Structure 1
Amino acid sequence: MWTTMKNLDLNSVGLSLSLGLIVLVLYEIIRIISSRAKTPPGPTPLPFMGSLPYFVTKPMELIRSMSQYGEMTTVYFGRKPTIVLNTIQITKEALVQNASSFSGRPSVPLIDWITKGYGIIFTSFGHSWRQQRRFALHTLRNFGLGKKSVEERVSEEGCYLVAEMLKAEGKPFDPQHAIHNAVSNIICSIIFGDRFDYNNKRFAYLLKILKNHIIQTGSLIAQIFNLFPFIKHFPGPHQKIYQNAEKLKDFVREALKEHRETLDANSPRDFIDAYLLEIEKQKSNEDSTFHEENMLISTADLFLAGTDTTGTSISWGLIFLMGNQDVQERCHQEIVGVLGYDRLPSMDDRDKLPYTYATVYEIQRHSNIVPLGVVHETTQAVKLRGYNIPKETQIMTNLTAILSDKEHWKFPHTFNPENFLDDNGHFYKTESFLPFSLGPRVCLGETLAKTELFIFITSLLQRIHFSWPPGEKRPDMDGIFSVVRSPQPFNILCHSRDSKE
């Protein structure tokens, strides 16, 4: 009899759990139906997970499908709706004309765990963000951003990069470390006051950690963490993301320690010196957001953003140029026709090198390294094209659709510099070219990135011919999708060009 009652109890528990689960799923389905009636159309979400499983397995396929729903799409990454802006017109309306309503940043558990809400890129739209961004822009300009001094540093680093690549002349090698080291050296010279040799093992290790950190931050485990942030208290692969972030912060901490010990208040050398002086200056200001923790994260933000995005764009550029030898050859002929083989390129040469300049822009368009832009959030309830969008709704910009809109591009789906040339062969760009975003949250390193891209790519094409090694498997052009869409590892062949060719 006891055994019978025990079996009945277990059956009752099982039945209760099953019924409870069914009720929960039905409630979730009803909630989704109610939510979808109030938002722009989009793919049908799964209960609790939304489109997240599909986004993790086939991200670019999902992103390319979004524009079929119209100028706005609603996608569920988990239980909350995200509004995706698919056209340049509605993007400008939201991020520029209604900037104050669309310039927030959502609370992302993984990012909050790492940054504690400090820094520039992912911090919320408010007093701290304004102070930190304003200071960063002002200080970066003081140390050469947008001036000849930084341009000269980029040109000099371009020479180092060419020499580094030609060390492996005729032998297959992966160029991505050298490219990222070169790009990173520019922002490092501004932030830390120093550059790092390409054979510096410690810095090479740091760049490897940085790359892994960016990939992991957009990985499946990161998405699971954002759904269930309480797992930070338990062991698992998510702890590796935090550990890598701490290693990057340790690098910055060490630099801060060295700067503090050698600081000369009358002669600041770089961004860190300027920040240390600002902390002292703002001590009596109750509204100040300048303190060591904000300095640490703001410096790390500049280091990460100033290294990976531009380096990734140049890496994609080499892939496109090796696959389009006619473009590579035409650029080289134009460059040597204007500069010869020895004069270093400068930003003043852009008008004399329209095809090369168009190629640099086409590399940015076609590489599309941030397919959905950096996520925004509404700071208040707002109306957009007839839809009532609540406060704290996530907003994304479908740069994939905008950068391949057939109404604005002559060759929307292929790599072709003619997208940036008029009928007379002169350079021009349309309003749909916005890899740096729009509005108050526009990339603060845009000027530096444009300088690096033009001078580095021009320097490489001036002196080196790039080709695929025989039998080299071509990388998947969807790449590795994460915070930044980067190419899979690939090898190249370099051959020096000289005046005798």
Structure 2
Amino acid sequence: MWATPLMKLDLSFVGLALFLGLIILVLFEIIRINSYRGRTPPGPRPLPFVGSLPHLIKNPMELVRSMSQYGELSTLYLGRKPMITLNTIQVIKEALVQEAFSGRPAMPLIEWIGLTNGTGIIMVTFGHAWRQQRRFALHTLRNFGLRKKSVEDRVLEESRYLISEMLKAEGKSMNPQHALQNAVSNIICSIVFGDRFNYDDKRFSYLLKILNENFMLAGAAVGEFFNLVPFIKHFPGPHQKLKQNTNELVGFIRDEVKEHKETLDPDSPRDFIDAYLLEIEKQKSNEDTFHEESLVMSATDLFLAGSNTTATTIRWGLIFLIQNPDVQDRCHEEIVRVLGYDRLPCMDDRDKLPYTYATVHEIQRCANIVPMGVVHETIRPTKLRGYDISQGTMILTNLSAIFSNKEHWKHPDSFNPENFLDENGHFSKPQCFIPFSMGPRVCLGETLARTELFLYITSLLQQIHFSWPPDPQPLDMDGIMGAVRIPQPFNIICRSRDTKE
């Protein structure tokens, strides 16, 4: 007869204990946060346990734009971990040139989906193995594509395919995403794999599709939440799609490596994979650095980075050019005056096309595809502007603040190529323009990306007039935040310039 009251008493006691325990846990977390905030730069007040994550998920660009109001340094919290944000070009230059700021954080999501296991280039932390991989990749990319004439030939050849592909739908509404991404991907593919892929290649189109899905998911809410609570890997959800997609992408690279091993001619390396296979053989005594798994990860990094960022920038560029038809027409007039319609541009034409060259840079500034830069991490305790920064602190570079600073830009809040022209109409690049970062972690593919952006955009403007279809859908110019900031899906109309009235 006493069982039921005792059970109720026990349940009440357990419930009360859990409630009090939760209150104490939250109080300790608030005390811990306040202790951190007293030693780190100012920033928005974080919530217990989740930090700034809800704000980052709800409106990421609004949060990014707000960070500079706290000063040259500010602090965000990814869950319980502080991230220092660098908000001025002066403090960015001071920090990023130092090795102390050249690490990469261990990201549970990246490790789980298998995009790094201590090998590769992009997300590997600073050290001897990373230096060796980067040095080899840079040297080999130069040999197989980054020499000026070689990369120009590849891009100009591909630009002809791209123009033809986009004009297949002349006068009709079309989404330019696939054609642009295929064209950009073909350059890194020709360097890494030794071949390009046709625009109607179904397998390659599928790979680009799942690549886009991963870029979206990795930087969106699912990716951020996974990094906060990685044990969700045991449960169903969109993160499982990330894992599946990555397995297929890496499987594609492994197939390429296997095929290259079977057809390798040591006297005539065809591409990056061949060169790496020869390096593995050459450095058998250095198996900790050069082995087949590190080849797969390095080739995957190059393929992922070389297939998305430049194409995304050009997609933003089409939006800005259609929204500013006077800029589009002025570029076309300058290009035709210098080149005519028959000769495609080369990199030596940049000085003769100052307005067009300025427009390419203005597209990069306004596209701002990585608003907070690629995350860094301190590899040892250091100091910056009077703050003690512990080892393992994540560092973000607020490129949004840099690219909209009224002190550095004539027209910071609008798309205007005059931002990159001096009073005489000559091209002039401000020192605060650092879309490829700087220091030891400066983008490995900067030369390739600059070449692609100038040659593709100039070729397209020479041959095609771009406009909106009737009744276009309004675009949120904040875009969609994933691993990079991409525009919302949009359609355009292309018309050949020599048939346009």
TM over 0.5: yes
Q: Which residue of 1 aligns with 2:155?
A: 154
Tell me, in whole angstroms, the C-alpha distance in 2 between the residues paired with 1:356 and 1:111: 38
8 Å contact from structure 1 (residues 474, 490) kept in 2: no
Q: Report how far residue 499 of structure 1 moved.
A: 7.8
Matched, 1:3 2:4: yes
Distance 1:500 1:376, change over 3 A: closer
TM-superposed CA distance for 1:485, in Å, is: 0.4
Q: Is the 8 A contact 1:468 1:492 kept in 2?
A: yes
Q: Cα offset for 1:500? A: 8.2
Show CA shifts across 1:164-212 (max 9, x none). Answer: 0000000001001000000000000000000011111111111001111
Q: CA deviation at 1:116?
A: 2.0
Question: What residue is the counterpart of 1:377 in the other structure?
Answer: 377
- 1:109 counterpart residue number: 108
Which residue is equivalent to 2:86?
A: 85
User: What is aligned with 1:368?
Assistant: 368
Alignment-mate amino acid for residue 55 of structure 1? L
Partner of 1:454: 454
The superposition leaves residues 25-49 of structure 1 with CA deviations (integer Å, 9 ceiling, x where unpaired) of: 0000000011000000000000000
Larger deviation: 31-40 or 276-285? 276-285
TM-superposed deviation, 1:228: 1.5
- Superposed displacement of residue 299, structure 1: 0.3
Match of residue 314 from structure 2: 314
C-alpha distance in structure 2 between counterparts of 1:314 and 1:141, whole Å = 24
Code of the aligned partner of 1:266: D
Residue 472 of structure 2 corresponds to 472
Matched residues in 2 for 1:415 and 1:81: separation? 34
Secondary structure of the 2:191 match is: helix
Aligned pairs for 1:29-178 (under 5 A) are 29-96=30-97, 99-113=98-112, 114=114, 115-178=116-179
Equivalent positions of 1:285-434 (< 5 A) are 285=286, 288-434=288-434
Question: Which residues in structure 2 correspond to 1:184-195 (within 5 Å)?
Answer: 184-195=185-196
Residue 140 of structure 2 aligns to which amino acid in structure 1? T
Output the TM-score relative to the length of structure 1.
0.98
* Conserved? CA contact 1:335–1:356, under 8 Å: yes
Amino acid at match of 1:192: F
C-alpha separation in 1, matches of 2:425 and 2:55: 42
Q: Is the 8 A contact 1:146 1:448 kept in 2?
A: no
Contact kept? 1:146, 1:447, Cα under 8 Å: no
Looking at structure 1, the residues matched to 362 and 148 of structure 2 have their Cα atoms a distance apart, in angstroms, of: 24
Q: Deviations over 1:134-162 (max 9, x none)?
A: 00000001113032011111011111111
SS at match of 2:286: coil
Q: Secondary structure at the match of 1:156?
A: helix
**Which residues in structure 2 correspond to 1:21-36 (within 5 Å)?**
21-36=22-37
State the distance in 1 between where 2:360 and 2:59 align: 28
Give the secondary-structure state (helix, strand or coil) at the position aligned to 1:144.
helix
CA distance in 2, matches of 1:500, 1:414: 28
Note closer, same or farther for the CA distance 1:10–1:444 as it changes in structure 2 (3 Å cut). Answer: same
Letter in 2 for 1:468: W
**Counterpart-to-counterpart distance in 1, 2:475 and 2:183:** 23
Q: Deviations over 1:8-32 (max 9, x none)?
A: 0000000000000000000000000
For 1:232, the aligned partner's letter is: K
CA contact (8 A) 2:78 2:228 kept: no
Find the aligned partners of 1:149 and 1:198 in 2 and give their Cα distance.
22
SS at match of 2:145: coil
Which position in structure 2 is the counterpart of 1:270?
271
5 Å matches for 1:238-249?
238-249=239-250
Q: Distance in 2 between matches of 1:320 and 1:100?
A: 37
The CA deviation at 1:236 is: 2.7
Q: Deviations over 1:77-110 (max 9, x none)?
A: 10010000000000000001xx111000011001
Structure 1 CA distance for aligned equivalents of residues 347 and 87 of structure 2? 33
Compute the displacement of 1:488 (Å): 1.1
Q: How many Å apart are 1:237 and its aligned residue?
A: 2.2
CA distance in 2, matches of 1:221, 1:408: 36
The number of equivalent residue pairs is: 498
Query: For the residues of structure 2 that align with 1:133 and 1:473, how far apart are their CA atoms?
Result: 43
Q: CA separation in 2, counterparts of 1:2 and 1:253? A: 64
**Aligned AA (2:410):** K
- State the 1:230 CA deviation: 2.2
Question: 1:168 aligns to what SS in structure 2?
Answer: coil
Letter of the 1:2 counterpart: A
Match of 2:284, SS state, is coil
SS in 1 for 2:395: strand
Residue 226 of structure 2 is aligned to residue 229 of structure 1: no
Q: For residues 275-324 of structure 1, what are the alpha-carbon distances to aligned partners after superposition, in whole Å with 9 as ceiling and x for unaligned?
A: 111111111236x4111111111101000101100000000000000000
Measure the CA separation in 1 of the matches of 2:77 and 2:286: 42
Identity of aligned residues (%): 69
